[in-house]
């Protein structure tokens, strides 16, 4: 897939071999495909937090906001309120999403605004050199935790299910997997939560993770069955891997739910006219 027109002149400063390259390639490919099918570059907007993941903002030639640490979601929501026709895509790290930005995550699931959200989960605060996040495994040691992490990781997939998210997916940082789920998420009407298990080759290499993963789709998982999604989400607790660890990948849950932008007449009007607030004549 040709995606030159989405490139910027900025040379990436991600570490050589960083999985963020895979993520970015997938995102560019899917958007380039949409543009080939007739969408305009201006139809898309991207938002990032602060962290290694956030550098994607500099390397993808689309409009958007490189926002604050933990504030990707309210920025995406603001964009949708400003122009509900925009295709908004947010990028966070696990520190960004599950620590500083945690309360926004719960409300994003509740609001169900029609934007897509990727969490680059490398289980550490990578840009600030590897401190543990709320999804780091028990026992992980760094300079800030010389005795090792003592607290159990949270399970963001279960959190999203409980919060009422209408699209909950997990993929490995593999271009094809991300492309597939991103395309499905674009078809979905509402908030799409997509967690990417992304080894950080320097601070959290996640050795052996890929081998523990399996495809829910190949297993015939029914993504409209909440109880089944809940059960699958419990299979992986983000802790140290053992012989029994199984990591389900794919769309765990999807359901139809009222979309935020369809609940307010002012936003419905903008959608109908295919304009943003700026273009309204007063
Ligand atoms: C409000 C605020 N708090 C803390 C920071 C410091 N900070 C910058 S990057 C970063 C780590 C980001 O980690 P994560 O979101 O997991 O992204 P990654 O670097 O792993 O991609 C932190 C804590 C900040 N810039 N702003």
- Which pLDDT score, from 0 to 100, does residue 53 have? 98
Determine the atom of ligand 1 nearest the C-alpha atom of 70.
Answer: 1
Low-confidence ranges of the chain (pLDDT < 50): none
**Nearest protein CA to atom 5 of ligand 1, as residue:** 69
With a 6 Å cutoff on the Cβ, whether 204 touches ligand 1 is no
Quote the ligand 1 centre to 26 CA distance (angstroms). 23
- Which pLDDT score, from 0 to 100, does residue 277 have? 86
Alpha helices by DSSP H, listed for the chain, are 20-36, 56-59, 72-82, 94-95, 102-111, 156-163, 175-187, 209-212, 226-233, 265-273
Q: Compute the 3-state secondary structure of the chain and give helix, strand, coil in percent, each to the nearest 5.
A: 40, 20, 45
Mutate to test the pocket of ligand 1, among 21, 22, 125, 199 (most ligand atoms within 8 A of CB): 125
**Nearest protein CA to atom 20 of ligand 1, as residue:** 126
Quote the ligand 1 centre to 105 CA distance (angstroms). 16
Residues 186-220: pLDDT tens digits? 999 999 999 999 999 999 998 888 999 999 999 99
For 264, the 3-state DSSP assignment is coil
Residues 82-117: pLDDT tens digits? 999 999 999 999 999 999 999 999 999 999 999 999
Residue 278 CA, distance from chain mean position: 28
DSSP type of residue 261: G
- Which pLDDT score, from 0 to 100, does residue 3 have? 61
Quote the ligand 1 centre to 123 CA distance (angstroms). 12
């Amino acid at each position: 897939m040709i995606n030159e027109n989405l490139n910027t002149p900025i040379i990436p400063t991600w570490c050589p071999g960083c999985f963020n390259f895979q993520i970015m390639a997938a995102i560019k490919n899917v958007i380039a495909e949409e543009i080939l099918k007739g969408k305009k570059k201006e139809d898309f907007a991207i938002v990032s937090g602060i962290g290694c993941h956030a550098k994607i903002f500099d390397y993808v030639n689309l409009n958007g906001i490189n926002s604050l640490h933990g504030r990707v979601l309210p920025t995406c929501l603001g964009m949708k309120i400003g122009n509900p026709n925009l295709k908004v895509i947010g990028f966070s790290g696990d520190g960004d999403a599950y620590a500083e930005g945690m309360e926004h995550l719960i409300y994003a699931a509740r609001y169900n605004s029609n934007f897509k959200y990727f969490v680059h989960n490398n289980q550490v605060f990578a840009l600030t050199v590897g401190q543990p996040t709320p999804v780091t495994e028990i026992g992980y040691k760094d300079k800030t935790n010389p005795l090792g992490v003592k607290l159990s990781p949270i399970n963001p997939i279960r959190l999203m299910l409980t919060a009422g998210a209408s699209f909950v997916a997990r993929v490995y940082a593999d271009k094809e997997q991300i492309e597939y789920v991103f395309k499905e998420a674009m078809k979905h009407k509402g908030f799409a939560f997509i967690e990417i298990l992304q080894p950080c080759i320097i601070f959290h290499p996640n050795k052996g993770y890929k081998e523990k993963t399996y495809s829910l789709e190949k297993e015939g998982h029914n993504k409209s069955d909440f109880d089944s999604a809940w059960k699958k989400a419990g299979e992986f607790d983000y802790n140290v891997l053992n012989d029994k660890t199984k990591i389900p990948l794919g769309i765990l849950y999807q359901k139809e739910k009222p979309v935020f932008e369809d609940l307010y007449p002012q936003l419905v009007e903008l959608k109908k006219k295919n304009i943003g607030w700026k273009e309204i004549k007063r």
